[in-house]
Chain A
Amino acid sequence: DTEVTQTPKHLVMGMTNKKSLKCEQHMGHRAMYWYKQKAKKPPELMFVYSYEKLSINESVPSRFSPECPNSSLLNLHLHALQPEDSALYLCASSPGQGTGNTIYFGEGSWLTVV
């Protein structure tokens, strides 16, 4: 079973709202990722958590705030977003952060900022 589940699947929020995206995996994976994908573009890495600690932040604006409450959960808190932040947000996980590990993606959360 290589399932990464994300909620909600669709989210519409105003520029003053605070919302969160959630991601869960029960494969015992120790690395979890957030990617952002705009239409007709490949995914772009935002954050990497390894063993529940933030290990990579790809210079993401502070209006995106990741959180890893435990080894199975990864959240992305959203505040004061801009319309250009509208995109598909993908969560992914891998057994470890090591480079030989396959990265599995969830189905994504479609975010629209109005």
Chain B
Amino acid sequence: EDKVVQSPLSLVVHEGDTVTLNCSYEVTNFRSLLWYKQEKKAPTFLFMLTSSGIEKKSGRLSSILDKKELSSILNITATQTGDSAIYLCAVVWGSSNTGKLIFGQGTTLQVKP
């Protein structure tokens, strides 16, 4: 069965800490992996990663995919209270024209002042 697993499920840190969120997948016909940040509304797109292994960066956030380990990490450095959210990992899979996403359970990050 295709699945996407995120860890940890929840995390509490203090401002200024660095965090690493994990996403592993077992999916047939893997195409790409997406990271989203969700606060009290819809998911906001962060990164798209492919098997190329190219690291993506945006400010204090960075992410990379390890195709051998079938996993991806999302790093957040110098965390701020505004980083508190649920971080969702989703894998795009299937034939070239399905565009289906399988989501992980999400990691709830709380950043304390």
Contact = CB atoms under 8 A, between A and B. Distances in A.
Contacts of B93: 99
Interface string A82-114: 000000101000101111111111111000000
A95 to B, nearest CB: 10
A80 B46 CA distance: 37
A51 B43 CA distance: 24
Contacts of B106: 42
Contacts of B105: 41-42
A104 B41 contact: no
Contact of A108 (B41, B45, B48, B94): B41
A31 interface: yes
Contact of B31 (A31, A55, A100, A107): A100
Contact residues on B (Cβ < 8 Å of other chain), bracket: 20 to 34
A94 B99 contact: yes
Given A42-B105, A99-B93, A102-B34, A90 B98 contact: no
A56 B100 contact: yes
Interface string B20-43: 000000000001101010000111
Given A42-B103, A45-B100, A99 B45 contact: no
B31 A99 contact: yes
B50 A100 contact: yes
B43 to A, nearest CB: 5
Given A88-B42, A97-B99, A102-B34, 12 more contacts: A31-B99, A33-B99, A44-B103, A48-B99, A90-B43, A94-B99, A99-B31, A99-B32, A99-B96, A99-B97, A103-B34, A103-B101
Interface of B: 31-32, 34, 36, 41-45, 48, 50, 88, 90, 92-101, 103-106
